[in-house]
Structure 1
Amino acid sequence: MEYHQINDTDRENLRKFISEPERFVTEPTKHWDHDQFRTVTAMPELVIQPVTNQEVENVVKYASDHHIPLVPRGNSTGLMGANLSVDGGISLDMVKMNRILEYDPDGLTMTVQAGIRLKDIEEYLADKPFTYMPAPAMHWATIGGNVDTNAGGLKAIKYGVTREHIRELKVVLTNGKLYKFGSKAVKSSSGYSLKDLIIGSEGTLGVVTEVTLRLYPKPRKSINAIIPFPTLNDAIRSVPAILASGVVPTTVEFMGRKVINLWEKYADDEFPIKNGDGFIIMGLDSFTEEEWQAELKQALEAVKEFKAEDAVILSADSEEAKKIWKCREELLLAIQKSTPKMDEIDVCVPINHIPEVLDRIEELENELNIRIPNFGHAGDGNLHIYLCSDGMSDEEYAKTSDKVISELYKTAKSLDGNMSGEHGIGYARAGYYEDFYGHDYTELLRQVKKLFDPNEVVNPGKIFKM
């Protein structure tokens, strides 16, 4: 696809839609050329920071009518290059659309603009009886970015991923019209769910401008159990037993001593548990103390046969628990700090097949002489796997990474898994998509893309190749 390159006439016309000159950036800096990894960089020709739906409508329609690529952008915490302006054009930076529009405790909803950060939502709800349950580790990510990638997070087992917590979206399509998809009503059996099509589409179908969130009453009791095991494999094999026991944890995370050692160096701190090489972090929440105690007893009984050592039980608001969760949430940053260049694989497989993926990772480490630290969500089978360049040349790293990615995608596919559990496909993995899911399936997605975006201007080149 050949796109129109922005000229002075375009700048003059587009500038009319934006009332404040500081929100119209004609000379973008490196702030706008990367995502969290900086593995690939791409500079937009123009950055526009809208603050109203009308501004978004005007800019999107102009871009479509004039065949200018337009990429919605949040706080650049993504890992797969979904926010990169790989074809130039306009970076539609949504971070100034960051207002809370409505707090409706009686309807258990809250409506916000797409550029608001998770951190800001958490702070707003801190003194209120309700909470937004999804808990991605990147608290400075925008809610629009979470919607676009259907972000998961630490509480997905019990409460589900982002999709389960979105009641309504407002989305600008390439015809310049603002559509409302979904409603505040809890249930719908009323035709196609376009809301759910937009969620997870990585900004390739339209621009999300407003999000109505589902709120939950805050649990009365929350505890964490950190269970050490002799090996990480022992820890992982215990998870199906926990879930089959009838316990419904809020969280079941896994991590090994290797990545914890990296965090200790990164944070200049010590992990509070010294025994064990593999760990399960299990969170429980409940209405009463008796509930969590009964669930905890059942879960700890279930893991005994997997060589579980004595669990450390902590109140969720204790300093020790906060340190353990801080470690978990900073693992990505710790790994990134340990190597010159890093890439990620975000496969998701059935939980009983996680050990097979971990075994394949170990084989590839030995076979290709590359360090591949990993951790993830044991309760839903979502593994975060990192490829570290260390002393490799750029050429060697690119070749080795492609081999590892291809092999782990083969493993995930053979186990009836998916390419990504929560980080999306973006630009970085678009070249692998059709091989994984097949031509007919991908062709159907191309037809959906063409229906929503006939000129292929909204976030082109992402998820799959057109």
Structure 2
Amino acid sequence: MEYHKINQTDLDNLSKFISDPERFITKPTKHWDHDQFGTVKAMPDLVIQPTSNEEVMNVVKYASDHSIPLVPRGNSTGLMGANLAVDGGISLDMIKMNKVLEYDPESLTMTVQAGLRLKDLDEYLADKPFMYMPAPAMHWATIGGNVSTNAGGLKAIKYGVTREHIREIKVVLTNGKLYKFGSKAVKSSSGYSLKDLIIGSEGTLGVVTEVTIRLYPRPHKSINAIIPFPTLNDAIRSVPAILKSGVVPTTVEFMGRKVVKLWETYAKDEFPIKHGDGFIIIGIDAFTEDEWKAELNETLEVVKPFKAEKAIVLSADSDEAKKIWKCREELLLAIQNSTPKMDEIDVCVPINHIPVVLDRIEELEKELNIRIPNFGHAGDGNLHIYLCSDNMSDEEYAKTSDKVISELYKTAKSLDGNMSGEHGIGYARANYYEDFYGKDYTDLLRKVKKLFDPNYIINPGKIFKP
């Protein structure tokens, strides 16, 4: 599509909407040309940092009326290029919309601006009896970014993904109007849920400005157990048995010795467990000691037939537990540090089929001579799979990566899985979308996009091709 190129008249008009000239950046630096991966780079023509709904409304309407592409941006922790201005235009950087607007413990809700970081949200609640339960590893991600990708995280198995924790959002559509989707009420059987349509839309339908989140009472007791197994497959095969037993863990993560060694190199530290090549990390929270002990004992009995070795049980705030979780949360950075270039796939499959994907990864490593470290959420079937360039030329790496991505998508599709469990499709995977989900389905999504964004200016070129 052809878009209008921002000129001096546009700059003059747009600048009138922003009260502080320091938030109107006409010469963007490389800070704005990439996301966490940096695989794809694209520089916007203009960066605007709004601080109010009114500023967002004015900028979005002007962009739509003048066919200027506009890309909402959080704290740039994404991995699929969803916040890149691939067609130029405006990067609407939401990071200064970072206020807590309302803390309402009586309704168990809290309303914040979309640019508030998860880290800041946790700090605000630290001395309060409530928590925001979703736990994506990127603590400096913004709540608006999490809404845009329907982020999952470490606690999704028990508490669900971001969608389950959002009561209400305010979103600016391309007509320049601010809409409230959802409410503080717990239930709704009142027509289409536009709130749930916006969540996970990766900023392609509108700009989220405010989010009302659900608060949970803080559990009184939390413990972790890390269970070593002889192999990673042994570890993975134990997970359906745990979940069928009636135990409802907060977290069930998997990782193997290979990625642990990469973390040891990256962190210049030692992993506290020296035996076993596959690990399951179980998190359990409860309101009484008897409750968590009963769930833990059941878990340890259930995993015995899968060659489980002696588990190490840790209180959630112990130094050893913190090191183990630090390792898990830094695995992405450790893998990234081990290779010149890296790409990622986060397919999600039924939990009993995780070993099928792991077997296919091993086959592809041998067939294509590429290193593919991985780890993930064993409790919900979401794998994080990384393609390392190592000594390959750029051309060879691009060709090999495309082959691996295509093959793993075929595997996920054959298992009734999805392309992405949490990181989204963005720009980097848009070319694969229609092949995975089919033309009829994708055309239906195109009609939805056209309804919300008739001029195709909000985050164009993401998720699927126009």
**After TM superposition, is the score higher than 0.5?**
yes
3-state SS in 2 of match to 1:404? helix
| CA displacement at 1:74 relative to structure 2 | 0.5
Task: Give, in whole Å, the separation in 2 of the partners of 1:327 and 1:119.
Answer: 18
Give, in angstroms, the shift of residue 224 of structure 1: 0.3
Instruction: Tell me which residue corresponds to 2:137.
Output: 137
Q: How does 1:99-114 map to 2 (within 5 A)?
A: 99-114=99-114
Cα distance in 1, alignment partners of residues 194 and 425 from structure 2: 20
Q: CA deviation at 1:383?
A: 0.1
TM-score (norm 2): 1.00
1:53 matched residue in structure 2: 53
Shift of 1:296: 0.6
Structure 1 residues 7-33: Cα deviation after superposition (integer angstroms, max 9, x where no partner): 000000000000101000000000000
- In structure 1, the partner of 2:26 is 26
1:167 to partner: Cα distance: 0.2
- Opposite residue 156 of structure 2, the aligned amino acid is A
Letter in 1 for 2:340: P
Aligned partners of 1:388, 1:90: CA distance in 2, in Å?
Answer: 32
Shift in Å at residue 62 of structure 1? 0.2
Alpha-carbon separation, structure 2, partners of 1:8 and 1:46: 11
Task: Give the C-alpha shift of residue 398 in structure 1.
Answer: 0.3
Partner of 1:75: 75
Q: How does 1:244-323 map to 2 (within 5 A)?
A: 244-323=244-323
1:411 aligns with 411
Residue equivalent to 2:8: 8
Rounded Cα–Cα distance in structure 2 between residues aligned with 1:31 and 1:212: 29
Q: Deviation of residue 405 (structure 1)?
A: 0.1
Shift of 1:107: 0.7
Q: Distance in 1 between matches of 2:382 and 2:167?
A: 25
**In structure 1, what is the equivalent of residue 235 of structure 2?**
235
Partner Cα distance (1:423, 1:259) in 2: 20
Unpaired runs of 5+ in structure 1?
none
Task: Give deviations 1:364-388, integer Å, cap 9, x for gaps.
Answer: 0000000000000000000000000
Distance 1:246 1:96 in 2: 44
Partner of 2:370: 370
Residues 220-244 of structure 1: per-residue CA shift (max 9 Å, x gap):
0000010000000000000000000
Q: For structure 2, list consecutive stretches of 5 or more residues without a partner in the other structure.
A: none
Deviations 1:291-337 (A, max 9, x none): 01011111111100000000000000111000000000000000000
| Letter matched to residue 358 of structure 2 | L
What whole-Å deviation, never above 9, does each CA across 1:138-158 have from its counterpart, x for those lacking one?
000000000000000000000
Alignment correspondent of 2:336: 336
Counterparts of 1:127 and 1:320 in 2: how far apart (Å)? Answer: 24
Matches within 5 A, 1:443-458: 443-458=443-458
| Residue 388 of structure 2: aligned partner | 388
Equivalent in the alignment of 1:216: 216
Cα distance between partner residues in 1 of 2:447 and 2:439: 12
What's the CA shift string for 1:191-230, capped at 9, x where partnerless? 0000000000000000000000000000000000100000
Deviations 1:338-380 (A, max 9, x none): 0000000010000000000000000000000000000000000
Query: RMSD over aligned Cα, in angstroms?
Result: 0.3
CA distance in 1, matches of 2:37, 2:190: 41
| Cα deviation 1:129-174 (Å, max 9, x = unaligned) | 0000000000000000000000000000000000000000000000
Structural mapping, 1:143-222, within 5 Å: 143-222=143-222
Q: Secondary structure, in 3 states, of the residue corresponding to 2:58? A: helix
Q: Which amino acid aligns with 1:355?
A: P
**Which residues of 2 match residues 347-358 of structure 1 at below 5 A?**
347-358=347-358
TM-score under structure 1 normalisation? 1.00
Number of the residue aligned with 2:92: 92
Cα separation, 2, equivalents of 1:377 and 1:255: 9
Cα distance between partner residues in 2 of 1:39 and 1:121: 29
Alignment-derived partner of residue 360 in structure 2: 360
Residues 417-442 of structure 1, C-alpha deviation per residue, up to 9 Å, x if partnerless?
00000000000000000000000000
**Matched residue of 1:75: which SS?**
coil
SS in 2 for 1:284: strand
- Cα distance in 1 for partners of 2:288, 2:40 equals 49
**Aligned partners of 1:205 and 1:151: how far apart in 2?**
17
Amino acid at match of 1:243: L
Aligned AA for 2:110?
A: M
For residues 344 and 226 of structure 1, the distance between their equivalents in structure 2, rounded to whole angstroms, comes to 26
**Secondary structure of the corresponding residue to residue 122 of structure 1:** helix
Count of matched residue positions in the alignment of Structure 1 and Structure 2 = 466
Shift of 1:264: 0.4
Following TM superposition, by how much is the alpha carbon of 1:259 offset from its aligned partner in structure 2, in angstroms? 0.2
Provide the rounded CA distance (Å) in 2 between the counterparts of 1:403 and 1:427: 18
